[in-house]
Amino acid sequence: MHLNMKPTLLVLAAGMGSRYGGNKQLDEVGPSGETIIDYSIYDAIRAGFGKIVFVIRRDLEEQVKDRFFEKLKGKIEVDYVFQEISNVPEGVQVSPDRAKPWGTSHAVLVASEKIREPFGVINADDFYGYDSLKTLRDFLVNDKDPDCYCIVGYKLGNTLSDHGYVNRGVCNVGSGGLLKNIEEVLKIEKTYNGAKAPAADGTERLFTGNEIVSMNLFGFKPGCFDILKEDFKHFIEKNGMDIKSELLIPSTLDRYIAKDRIRIKVLMSNDRWFGITYREDKPFVVDSIRKMIRDGVYPARIYQ
């Protein structure tokens, strides 16, 4: 990275929001109509990112342009790229009934034409907090190893919903803070002293709440596109006719850690993560943002 080149932030905004019902990425949660993405971009600018790239579906193009481009003019460079079912290697057969995008690994891969510098990845509908984005930016600027990426992890207890179960990638961290693997744990529910999830053998698995989980807050170097391309090619050749299977970033990372092709540093965030998984989560998000405005973390109007 050139000395004056700032990292880019890639915002994954092509998801369907099936459990939520409706387009939660553009749902307004701030007092002046701000979305969660607005707060992430505000934090990214303060943290020192130089460009925002949205990964979107084609039908969201006008909404994204209307909502973000004019407001961000002069503040940060903005661009977008489409994640489409047809973005597959030549000659690969895919199911004509497929309606869902191919997953988060593919979402990052389609941005390869727009990104030449180290970059961070976030979900559009997750609130990460300034400290998390600053931690991510500092890694991207200071770590010079082209094959070393990062995850900014959260304590499991800081990421649970009061309104139903969640799926989380639990990080198994080895020596030197390097990731050994990510285990996708499904249906984690909050309990009065931690959390629980069903284990494969039908028993209950208990968590203290201090486990480190990945919330799709990643730091990558441009060389990752070769790996994503290779992994997606294997995936699509095998699963192209499937209407539901997706290739997710954690499974790609796991495979390439095991092959010793990459290393992933696990950095910790002390921020409280929150997101809108269920419609009932929204009032908590709105209240949390109001409180942060009262505490002076954010202005009442992000765009003056």
Contact 100, 70 (CB under 8 A): no
Residue tagged 């990426």 (tokens): 149
pLDDT tens-place string over residues 88-102: 988 888 999 998 889
pLDDT tens-place string over residues 160-170: 888 889 889 99
Question: Which pLDDT belongs to residue 20?
Answer: 40
CA atoms within 13 A on the CB side of 279: 6
For residue 63, count CB atoms less than 10 angstroms from its CB and return exposed for 0-12, middle for 13-18, buried for 19 or more. middle
The band of 14, judged by pLDDT with boundaries at 50, 70 and 90, is: confident
For residue 98, count CB atoms less than 10 angstroms from its CB and return exposed for 0-12, middle for 13-18, buried for 19 or more. middle
Choose among 165, 169, 172: nearest CA to 188: 165
- Quote the CA–CA distance of 25 and 66 in Å, as a whole number: 14
Contact 219, 266 (CB under 8 A): no
The band of 2, judged by pLDDT with boundaries at 50, 70 and 90, is: very low
The band of 291, judged by pLDDT with boundaries at 50, 70 and 90, is: very high
pLDDT tens-place string over residues 234-248: 999 999 999 999 999
pTM score = 0.93
Question: Which pLDDT belongs to residue 104?
Answer: 94
Give the Cβ contact number of residue 20 at 10 Å. Answer: 20
Above 60 in pLDDT, residue 210? yes
Q: Which domains does the chain have, with CATH numbers?
A: 8-153+214-255+280-294 (3.90.550.10)
pLDDT tens-place string over residues 19-54: 444 565 678 899 998 999 999 999 999 999 999 999
Two tokens at 277? Answer: 């998984």
If you ran DSSP here, which 8-state letter would residue 243 be given?
S
Q: Which range among 219-228, 257-266, 273-282 shows the weakest confidence by mean pLDDT?
A: 273-282
* 146 bridge partner residues: none
Question: Which pLDDT belongs to residue 18?
Answer: 43
